[in-house]
Amino acid sequence: MPLRLAFESARSTLFTVGLVAKKRIFLEQAIWKTAPWQGSGLPPKTAQNELVDIMVGIPGYMQDTVEIQQGGAKDKQKKALLLARLKADLSTLFDWRWKWEAHNPNAAIEMEPGALPVGRRVCDFRLFRKVLWFRNFTQATEILLYNAVLLCLLGALWQFDPPAEVEVPAPTNSILKRPDEIFSLLEPAEEICRGFEYQLLNIDNSQDSTLFWLLPLGVASKVLEAEPEYGRWIQSMLDTSRVTRGYGSGMSEFAFGHYQFPHIGHARKRRMRDR
């Protein structure tokens, strides 16, 4: 078990190195997603482990994206392979989300700021009237990491295969967006910001890697960088804690700077969200 924990820690570190360098890492190979969990007496993978299995492929996708953009038309075969792998990973990710939903029913509720537990206070500037409140910190970490992986995969896919224009249906009553309720990069990015607010309010309960709850916000900030009100909200949240103060967008810009996420339309934006 200690060796497995050491492997999981090393996997996080190597992923970060690959992300910054925009170079694929050996951990994307199938054997590294199975062998460390084989053997009698070893606990099975956690939901977070399953997400990291998908996440370790992202540095390779970043490398392939740059190479295809530099190679032009001659890399048609490489582009087709990349798109196939991205779509396969998205399918796996959506399967994970549906399974997570079944195992974590009613994982989050929405609360008025004045109804929060004693000692919990939200920032003065925020974009949603209600606070997204999870049953526990681990659930929040898992759903934010899921959304971060989703943004990275969709961001890469839509550079080469933009989504068709669809009429966005009326909002549902779902607290957390399911796969069939994602119509742009805006929904996952907003859910990350709202979930991060919960994490800050409950930071003393965190037992998860700092990477896994700061990385999603970095991805969301990149997606929302052209939206000043979101940037102000994100920065105000970061500034409330000495743990996160100074994190800002610099780290995520360095890791995700070459991603050109499709423009987030203004049609569905509101000054103060109903929720």
pLDDT in tens, 81-133: 999 999 999 999 999 999 999 999 999 999 999 999 988 888 889 999 999 99
Sign of CA dihedral 246, 12, 138, 174: positive
Residue 54 lies in a domain: no
pLDDT for 35 beyond 70: yes
pLDDT in tens, 214-255: 889 888 988 888 889 998 999 888 888 777 776 654 444 444
Helix axes 186-201, 228-238, angle to 10 degrees: 20
pLDDT for 28 beyond 50: yes
State the total domains in the chain. Answer: 1
Question: What's the chain's average pLDDT?
Answer: 84
pLDDT for 162 beyond 90: no
pLDDT for 263 beyond 60: no
| Paired sense of beta strands 108-111 and 131-134, if any | antiparallel
Retrieve residue 62's tokens.
Answer: 């970043």
pLDDT of residue 247: 65
Domain that residue 239 falls in: 67-256
> Using CA atoms, how far apart are residues 31 and 36, in angstroms rounded to an integer?
8
Residue 96 lies in a domain: yes
pLDDT for 270 beyond 60: no
Band the pLDDT of 74: cuts 50, 70, 90.
low
pLDDT in tens, 174-186: 899 999 988 889 9
| Backbone phi, psi, residue 250, to 5° | -60, -45
* Placement of tokens 């492929």 in the chain: 57
Mean pLDDT in residue range 55-74: 88
Assign 178 to helix, strand or coil.
coil
Neighbours of 61 (CB within 10 A): 21
Band the pLDDT of 268: cuts 50, 70, 90.
very low
> Using CA atoms, how far apart are residues 198 and 201, in angstroms rounded to an integer?
5
pLDDT in tens, 3-15: 788 888 888 889 8
Residue 28 lies in a domain: no
pLDDT for 273 beyond 50: no
Cβ–Cβ < 8 Å for 66, 157: no
Q: What's the one-letter identity of residue 2?
A: P
pLDDT for 2 beyond 80: no
Cβ–Cβ < 8 Å for 78, 64: yes
Residue 263 lies in a domain: no
Comparing 59-63, 94-98, 157-161, 255-259, which segment has the lowest mean pLDDT? Answer: 255-259
Residue 274 lies in a domain: no
pLDDT of residue 271: 34
> Using CA atoms, how far apart are residues 172 and 177, in angstroms rounded to an integer?
9
> Using CA atoms, how far apart are residues 275 and 256, in angstroms rounded to an integer?
29
Band the pLDDT of 52: cuts 50, 70, 90.
very high
The b/e string for 108-137 (b: 16+ C-beta within 10 A; e otherwise) is beebeeeeeeeeeebbeebbbebbbbbeeb
Residue 191 lies in a domain: yes
Cβ–Cβ < 8 Å for 15, 55: yes
Contacts of residue 188, Cβ cutoff 8 Å, sequence gap at least 6: 147, 148, 150, 151, 154, 177, 182, 220, 223
